[in-house]
C-alpha cells in the first residue's frame, strides 16, 4: 500500500513538473521569438543596457522627480546582462532575461500551491497546483511578453515573498523571515503602491491576532509595518516637496466608478469578496480562529483600495492584489471544499484566463514584426536623412499620451542605435511642422486626434511607420 502511494506521488510530481516546463518552454519561445522593443518605461532603461551602459537609478530622470515617482530599483535587474559581455545587447537578450524571470515566478507559485495543498492526496494536489500555477501565469504573461513596464520584476519576486512568509508562519524559522523581509523591501522601491502590502499584512496580523502571536511573529509583523512606513517616510521627504503632479492615467471616472470598473474586470476579486464575507461571519460567530491567510486576504483588498485611490485604470496594476487573493482563496478551498471541487474551480479559472492567450501571442508577434520592419526601414534611411519627431507645444501636458509618446521616442531611438550599432543616431524634436526641413517626419498620436489643425504634410511621398499610431512621412 505504501509503495502504491509513493508511486502515485512520484508519477504525479513528474507529470506536474513536465507539464509546467513544457508550458514555460512554449511561452518563453514566444517571448523571445520576433523580440523587439515596443516602448514604454523600459525604453528609457534599454537605451542604457541595450547600448551596454549600466542603468543607474540616480541617472533616471523620473526616479525622484516632479512626477511624484520613487522607484529606484524598478529596472536594475537589466544590468545583470552586463555581466555576460560588453557592447550592444540585442532585444532577444532582454527578453531572455524576462523569460527566466517568468520561470522563477512560475516555479515559486507552484511551490506556494504545493505547500498550501500539502495535506491533499497526491494526484489531486499536483493537479490543483498545476491549475493554480497556470492561472497565475495567465494573469501576468502580458506584462512579461510586452516590454513596456517594469512590473514583471515585482511579479517575479511576489511569490518568493509569499512562500517565505507562509513558511515563516508555519515554522518561525528566521531564514524564511529574513528572505521575506528583504524581498518585500526590494519591491517596495520598484513600484510605489507596493508599500501597502507590508503595512497591511503586518498591521492586520497585529490588530486581529495579537494575543495568539508569539514573540517571533510579533517581531516579523512589526518589521513588515516598519518597512512600508519607512518607504512612505522617504517618499514624503524626498518626493512630495518637489512633486507637481502624480502618476496615474488621469481617468475621467470618479474614484468609486473607477474602482467598480476594475473590480468587475478582476474576476478573482469576486471570489475573494465571497471568501471575505464567509470568513468574517465565521470569525464573528467564533466558529474558527484568525489565520495568516485572513491577513493575506485583507491585504489583497487593502492593495486594491490603495491602487484604486490613485485612479490607476490599467488592470495589470491590480494583478498583484489578485495573486495575493488567489493564494488565500486556494487555502480556504482546501479548508472547506473537497479535492474534486477545488480542482473544478481552479480548472474553470485556468480555462477562463487562458482563453485569450493565443490571441495575445498572435497580436504581440504581429506588432513586433511591424515595429521591426518600420525601424529597419528608418535605420536604412538614417545615414542620409534627418528624422524629426513632432511634439506639439499646444497640447495638454497632462494628457496620458504625452508620456507614452516620450517613451516611444526613446524606444525608437534605442532600436535604431542598436540596429546601426551607432550611439550617435539622433531623432530631433520639433514643436511645429516646418516643410522646409527635409527628411522623415514622425507624427505620433491617437488617430491624429491630438493634432486637429495639422494637415497632412505635402509632398507626402511615402508612409514609413504605422505602429502605435506613429505615422511617418518623407518630406522632399
The residue ranges of every structural domain in the chain are: 16-35+90-355, 360-475
Give the CA distances from residue 336 to residues 288, 294, 295, in Å, rounded to whole numbers and listed in that order.
12, 14, 18
Mean pLDDT of the chain: 84
Contacts 24+ apart (CB under 8 A), 417-420: 417/47, 417/50, 417/51, 418/50, 418/51, 418/88, 418/90, 418/91, 419/375, 419/376, 419/379, 420/379, 420/382
pLDDT tens by residue, 116-175? 999 999 999 999 999 999 999 999 999 898 876 778 899 999 999 999 999 999 999 999
Mean pLDDT of 454-468: 52
Helix (H/G/I), strand (E/B), else coil: 473: strand
pLDDT of residue 245: 64
pLDDT tens by residue, 1-32? 556 666 888 899 999 999 999 999 999 999 99
CB environment 354-388: b (16+ within 10 A), e (fewer): beebeeebeebbebbeebbebbeebbebbeeeebb
pLDDT tens by residue, 287-333? 899 999 999 999 999 999 988 888 777 788 899 999 999 999 999 99
pLDDT of residue 66: 58
Strand arrangement, sheet containing 463-467: 428-430, 387-390, 439-444, 470-475, 463-467
pLDDT tens by residue, 399-417? 656 666 777 787 788 888 8
pTM attached to this predicted model: 0.89
pLDDT of residue 135: 97
pLDDT of residue 465: 58
DSSP state of 456: P
Helix (H/G/I), strand (E/B), else coil: 48: helix
Greater pLDDT, 470 or 268: 268
Closest CA to 20 of 118, 134, 166, 132: 134
> Do residues 78 and 97 lie in contact, with contact meaning Cβ atoms separated by under 8 Å?
yes
- Distance between CA 23 and CA 185 in Å, rounded? 31
Closest CA to 129 of 271, 334, 296: 334
pLDDT of 449 above 50: no
Greater pLDDT, 327 or 85: 327
pLDDT of residue 454: 47
| Per-residue confidence band for 334, with pLDDT thresholds at 50, 70 and 90 | very high
- Distance between CA 264 and CA 270 in Å, rounded? 8
Mean pLDDT of 277-295: 94
Q: Tell me the torsion sign for CA atoms 439, 444, 450, 456.
A: positive
Q: What is the largest CA-CA distance in the chain?
A: 87
Closest CA to 143 of 323, 15, 303: 323
Greater pLDDT, 235 or 301: 301
pLDDT of 466 above 70: no
Amino acid at each position: 500500500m505504501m509503495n502504491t502511494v509513493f508511486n502515485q506521488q512520484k508519477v504525479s510530481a513528474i507529470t506536474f513538473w513536465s507539464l509546467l516546463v513544457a508550458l514555460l518552454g512554449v511561452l518563453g519561445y514566444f517571448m523571445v521569438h520576433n523580440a523587439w522593443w515596443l516602448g514604454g518605461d523600459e525604453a528609457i532603461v534599454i537605451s542604457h543596457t541595450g547600448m551596454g551602459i549600466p542603468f543607474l537609478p540616480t541617472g533616471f530622470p523620473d526616479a525622484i522627480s516632479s512626477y511624484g515617482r520613487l522607484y529606484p530599483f524598478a529596472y536594475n535587474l537589466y544590468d545583470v546582462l552586463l555581466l555576460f559581455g560588453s557592447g550592444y545587447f540585442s532585444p532577444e537578450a532582454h527578453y531572455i532575461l524576462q523569460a527566466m524571470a517568468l520561470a522563477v515566478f512560475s516555479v515559486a507559485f507552484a511551490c506556494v500551491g504545493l505547500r498550501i495543498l500539502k495535506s491533499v492526496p497526491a494526484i489531486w494536489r499536483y493537479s490543483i497546483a498545476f491549475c493554480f500555477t497556470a492561472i497565475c501565469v495567465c494573469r501576468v504573461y502580458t506584462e512579461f511578453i510586452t516590454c513596456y513596464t517594469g512590473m514583471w520584476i515585482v511579479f517575479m519576486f511576489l511569490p518568493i515573498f509569499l512562500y517565505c512568509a507562509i513558511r515563516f508562519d508555519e515554522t518561525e524559522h528566521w531564514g524564511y523571515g529574513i528572505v521575506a523581509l528583504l524581498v518585500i523591501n526590494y519591491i517596495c522601491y520598484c513600484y510605489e503602491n507596493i508599500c501597502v502590502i507590508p503595512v497591511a499584512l503586518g498591521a492586520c496580523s497585529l490588530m486581529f491576532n495579537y494575543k495568539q502571536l508569539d514573540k517571533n511573529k510579533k517581531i516579523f509583523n512589526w518589521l513588515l509595518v516598519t518597512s512600508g512606513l519607512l518607504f512612505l517616510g522617504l517618499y514624503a521627504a524626498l518626493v512630495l516637496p518637489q512633486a507637481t503632479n502624480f502618476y496615474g492615467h488621469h481617468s475621467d471616472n470618479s474614484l468609486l466608478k473607477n474602482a467598480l470598473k476594475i473590480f468587475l474586470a478582476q474576476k478573482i476579486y469576486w471570489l475573494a469578496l465571497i471568501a471575505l464575507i464567509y470568513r468574517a461571519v465565521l470569525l464573528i460567530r467564533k466558529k474558527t480562529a484568525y489565520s495568516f491567510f485572513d491577513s493575506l486576504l485583507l491585504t489583497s483588498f487593502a492593495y486594491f483600495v490603495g491602487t484604486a485611490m490613485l485612479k490607476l485604470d490599467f488592470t495589470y496594476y491590480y494583478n498583484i492584489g489578485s495573486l495575493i487573493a488567489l493564494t488565500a482563496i486556494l487555502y480556504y478551498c482546501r479548508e472547506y471544499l473537497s479535492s474534486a471541487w477545488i480542482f473544478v474551480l481552479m480548472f474553470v479559472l485556468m480555462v477562463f484566463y487562458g482563453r485569450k492567450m493565443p490571441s495575445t501571442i498572435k497580436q504581440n508577434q504581429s506588432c513586433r514584426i511591424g515595429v521591426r520592419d518600420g525601424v529597419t526601414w528608418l535605420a536604412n534611411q538614417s545615414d542620409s536623412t534627418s528624422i524629426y519627431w513632432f511634439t506639439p507645444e499646444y497640447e495638454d501636458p497632462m494628457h496620458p499620451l504625452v508620456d507614452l509618446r516620450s517613451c516611444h521616442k526613446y524606444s525608437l531611438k534605442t532600436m535604431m542605435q542598436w540596429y546601426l550599432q551607432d550611439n550617435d543616431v539622433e531623432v530631433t524634436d520639433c514643436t511645429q511642422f516646418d516643410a522646409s526641413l527635409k527628411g522623415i517626419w514622425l507624427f505620433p498620436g491617437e488617430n491624429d486626434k491630438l493634432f486637429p489643425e495639422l494637415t497632412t504634410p505635402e509632398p507626402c511621398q511615402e508612409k514609413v511607420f504605422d505602429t502605435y499610431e506613429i505615422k511617418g512621412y518623407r518630406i522632399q
